[in-house]
Structure formats: structure tokens, C-alpha cells
Amino acid sequence: MNAHTTTPVAQPLTGIKVIDFTQVMLGPCATQVLADYGADVIKIERPGAGDLSRTSIADDPDGLNNPVFCSLNRNKRSIALDLRNPAGKEIVYSLIRNADVVVNNFRAGVMERMGFGYEDLVKINPRIICAFGSGFGQSGPLSHKGGQDVLAQALSGVMARRADPSLPLSIYPTALADYTAGMHLVQAILLALLQRERTGAGQQVSVSLYDSMLAMQMQEAAMWLQRRRDLNWAAFPLTGVFETTDGALVLVGAFKANPLRDICAALELPDLSEEARYATFAGQVEHKADLQARFRERFRSNTTAFWLARLEEQDLLCAPVQNLPEALASEQTATNGTVIELDATAEGINEPVRLIGTPLTMSACGFQIRHAPPSLGEHGEEILHELGYDSARIEDLKRERIVV
């Protein structure tokens, strides 16, 4: 285990119990943050299948050590329950009576149909916080649609935004909407816990992939709503990605009095900012194609390292374009302690697991690895014993396949 992930200090969420119905990414990445900082997260899974992320990407045949599942579910405990059976539902109600938070990312109305909606649960626990992550919200013309990252990219305007209008439309290849909405869901849960300290009462909180993608575009949206102007940071005339003899680099020509002059100095070009057509920002926008053609020709004449050194001399914002393996192996990643390694102890997992840890740094406490990503139903008996079920009753539940 990476030493960066251990701490002798009590964690901020120690004593908070979370009942977690989530699967895939939006919900699990939110509940993992809570678990990383001390919450007891109990993952309710379907017998025989569990979270879809256990098997959605082909890996090991049993889905026990699937990297996608592991990336989202450390520090959680798993119980596999048949929720169609009244006895399975009663186990959930027993858990919720002494819980703080219930989280789901089903389609709107699913929890209510199962008898686990907020109005049902607040009757047995007035302090409960019900957190819901959806695709498009709880009402409206899109509420019936299944939430999915790519759909949110398309419907929110994110997919239509390109650095260059000549580029084809494409899917952003990282689950941007899922992660963003997951972090918004964490914020909502933490705010609700703070509010409960003042009022003593729980509440219902929700986020959606759609709203999170719109919120991410807050600057661009404000410019359009108030000025009917398109704001596209990636399309600025002195910003771009440029190929070199051995790779590529990105240059951001901004936040300086005369960035074009400094770029020209780095590229050993005449000072183009002295030419009337390039002297103003509006002129640079109009003649962007000409400017960037000159830049591309120069960058293609030498290596990435050579040009980065030249750009850095002019204090210009620049970086190499790294792929993910290069980023994971970089000295900065190692210094930040971003990659963690844990000895997997869950049943059926017998190899070290390397994952991305938390991006948060807290001086008074840190996150701890208390549980490896669990095998399906791994903690079922343990959780039932905590609820007061005796061994004989647990064996009955297992024989009846209510607990698997």
C-alpha cells in the first residue's frame, strides 16, 4: 500500500453509514470518495451478477478482479440480496434504519417502485439523506431515458464544441459526464450532512449527467445567454496542438502582454505582432489559419524537447502531449502519489491491485485503504451479523437464495 494513503488520524466521515445501490460509474465514483474518507459504504448488489461494471468490460471470467470495477469500488463492503423477496427488502430496511445516506443511480422512479423512495424511507429514518444521480433529471421530456455519458455529451452541447469547425464530431473518450456528476453528487451529500447537523433532518438530493455537463460550460453558457457570442477557449488563434519531429506539444498563447511576439521569439520567426494584420486579437482571429500554418512549419523542424525548452525560455504556457501510460509513469505522478497499490485481500483476488487514488490532499488526514474492492456478496454474513441475524437464520437466507 502506498504510504501516502495511510493516516493515524480519524477520517472525516468515520461513523457515517452509506447504503449504496449504485452501479457503473456515476454513483460508484461518488460513493468511493465517501468510503475513502471513512464512511462505511455497504454495496447492495444483484445475486449472480452484481454491479454491471464487474463484467461490462471483458477481463477475468469471474469478474472478481476486473480493473474497471476495482477502480470504482475500493473501501466498500458488498452484500448480494434478492430484492424481489420480502425478506431481502426487510434486510435493506434494517440497514436503512441506522444509516445516514442512501445512494442510487437508477432511472427515475425505480427506487419508488421497489419501496425505497425518499417518502418511504423517511418514515423509518427521519435523518436519512437520499441521493439520486440520474441521466437527465427526475422530470421532464428526457427523464425516462437511461443515463449514459455519451448521450449527455451529445445533448448538452459538449460534443458539438470543437477547436476547429473542420474537425469531425466525435465522442470524448473518457467518461467526462459520469465523473463530473459523481463529484457533484459527493458535494450534494456532504452539504446535506452539514445541513442535518443544524436541523436534525435528512433530505433528498439529486444531480444529473445533463446538468453537470451544462454546469461545466458555465463560462461559455453565460457568454451565449448574455451576449449571444460563442466562447471557445480551444479556438483562440495562438493556442493549438502542434506536431514535432518526435511527437506533439500544446501551446497556449495567452495571459501575456504580447504572446505572439514571444512565440515568434521562441520559434525564431520575425515578430509578426508588428504586422498590421496580426497586431490585434481580432486580426489574429481573422488570420488564424496563416499564423498556425507558420507555427506548424517551425514545430515540425525539431523535437518536442527542443521546442519546449525554447517556449519555456519565453515563459509561454506549453506541455508535451503525453499518452496515458506516459502520464502514469511520469515523475510528477510519482511525486504526487497519484497511483496507489494495495494487496488485494478480497475472496478470489490474489494479485496486487494498482489504481488511481484520490486527487485530494488534506494536511490533517488522508484517505485509507480499509477494504480491497469486494467480491460479489463478500461481506454478506458479516453485515447480517451486525444487524442481529444469528447464524441459523443466515443459513436459511442463503438456502432460500435471498442472500447469495
Q: Supply the residues annotated as catalytic.
A: 178
State the CB neighbour count (10 A cutoff) for residue 172.
13
Give the cell for residue 195. Answer: 445541513
Give the cell for residue 315. Answer: 515563459
Residue 202 burial (10 A CB sphere; 0-12, 13-18, 19+):
buried
Nearest alpha carbon to residue 387 among 2, 26, 25, 40: 40
CA dihedral (240, 244, 249, 255) in degrees, to 10, reads: -60
CA 293 to CA 275: how far, in whole Å?
16
CA 313 to CA 286: how far, in whole Å?
28
Nearest alpha carbon to residue 162 among 174, 152, 154, 170: 170
Between the alpha carbon of residue 119 and those of residues 31, 88, 105, 111, 203, the distances in Å are: 22, 20, 17, 11, 10
CA–chain centroid gap for 399, Å, is 38
Instruction: Quote the DSSP letter at residue 372.
Output: P
